[in-house]
Amino acid sequence: MNNPASNQINRRARVVEAYSNRGVARHEDGQLAAFHFPRRLERPLPGDWIELSDNGSLEVVEERRNTFGRGDPRGRFRPVAANLDLALIIIAAQPSPSPDLIHRYLAACLIREIEPVVVVNKSDLDEPDQPPFTELDGLVELGYRVVRVRCKPEPDIDALAALLGQGTSLLAGQSGVGKSSLVNALIPDYDQQTGELSRVTGKGTHTTTSATLCALPAGGWLLDTPGVWEYGLWVMPRNELARGFPEFVPFADHCRFRDCSHNHEPGCAVRAAAESGELADFRYQAWLRLLNEQVRLSR
């Protein structure tokens, strides 16, 4: 006897939103489909490629290229999105971020193999004469991308839109930095897309309470995440945190000790490079603060 399941044809789709034990995916023809998570499979994330059966059940979560997430109150990594090309770290003069917000985001992106881009929104406002704004030119010298945009009084987003291309970009940042305005400027039919999503989920008016994937006009994807007051890392080995500071590598190879923490050890070439000016001191000081933060998290 033929097994009906053997004749089932799965359709490939991309997860747009995931919450509780349900999600919404967009098929390659653009159609949205709601689905439930079976316990036998890993929980899908926005940005995941999946396969849905013809009756709408989740059958396969494809292997991920990477994941982006944050630390929870217990210091555990909590993924929020998958398969990213860029992470757009949005800051603004108002509200001004903490000095280490950018450094945490940069470390998280580099550790998870996602290219970070620092986006300064509300560029019509004067930038405070304090970190991280006084460090932006130094980040550019180190090879990090920094883009300035604004949505008011007249939109100026061309430099950012040109970076997005056909890939998948995640938008992250504090509440109040103008992420919603940026999303609407980058995606003219954003309200239409989220309205369609709300009809499929049955949740009514859509709000950014979970990461949501939207289609960009040029064919790429933009993944909007809820605003946070402060972004936190997770507990990790020191060599993992070090991957978030790639500019240390040429000097770290010359440290006296192979497992040097670049903190107190004699013969530390990284500390010496920071003291001599060969290495940006603001990045070295950020390393020390994040290193101490890891000690607190591990407790």
Distance CA 15, CA 35 (A): 10
Residue 285 corresponds to which amino acid? Q
- Domain CATH number, residue 12: 2.40.50.140
Rounded Cα distance between 15 and 49, Å, is 6
Select from 145, 142, 177, 80 the least CA-distant residue to 280.
142
Residues 117 and 179 in one domain: yes
Domain termination site, one of 16, 34, 61:
61
pLDDT for residue 227: 76
pLDDT at 2: 35
pLDDT for res 100: 94
Opening angle at CA 179, ends 142 and 83, nearest 5: 65
| Segments of the chain with pLDDT less than 70 | 1-9, 203-209
Domain that holds residue 16: 8-61
What pLDDT shows up at residue 3? 40
Domain boundary (61, 76, 98) is at 61
Same domain, 99 and 163: yes
Specify if 1 maps to a domain. no
Nearest alpha carbon to residue 287 among 113, 104, 97, 131: 104
The 8-class DSSP code of residue 276 comes to H
Based on the domain organization, do 168 and 33 belong to the same domain? Answer: no
Q: Can you give the CATH number for the domain in which 256 is found?
A: 1.10.40.50
Q: pLDDT tens for residues 195-251?
A: 888 888 776 554 555 789 999 998 899 999 887 778 999 999 999 999 999 999 999
Give the pLDDT of residue 168. 96
Residue 50's SS3 state is strand
For residues 134, 138, 139, 140, the Cα torsion angle rounded to the nearest 10 degrees is: 110
User: Which pLDDT value is given to residue 266?
Assistant: 95
- Which candidate, 219, 207, 205, places its Cα nearest to that of 179? 207
Whether 229 is covered by a domain: the verdict is no
Average pLDDT along the chain: 90
Its pTM stands at 0.91
Compute the 3-state secondary structure of the chain and give helix, strand, coil in percent, each to the nearest 5.
Answer: 30, 25, 45
Instruction: For residue 49, give the nearest of 38, 58, 40, 39 by alpha carbon.
Output: 58
Q: How far is CA 145 from the centre of its chain?
A: 15
Q: Is the dihedral of CA 203, 206, 207, 211 positive or negative?
A: positive
Count the Cβ atoms, other than its own, within 10 Å of residue 254: 13
Q: What is the CATH number of the domain that holds 112?
A: 3.40.50.300
Pair (71, 53) in one structural domain: no
- Give the chain's domain count: 3
Indicate if 119 and 178 belong to the same structural domain: yes
Residue 199 structure tokens:
């009809």
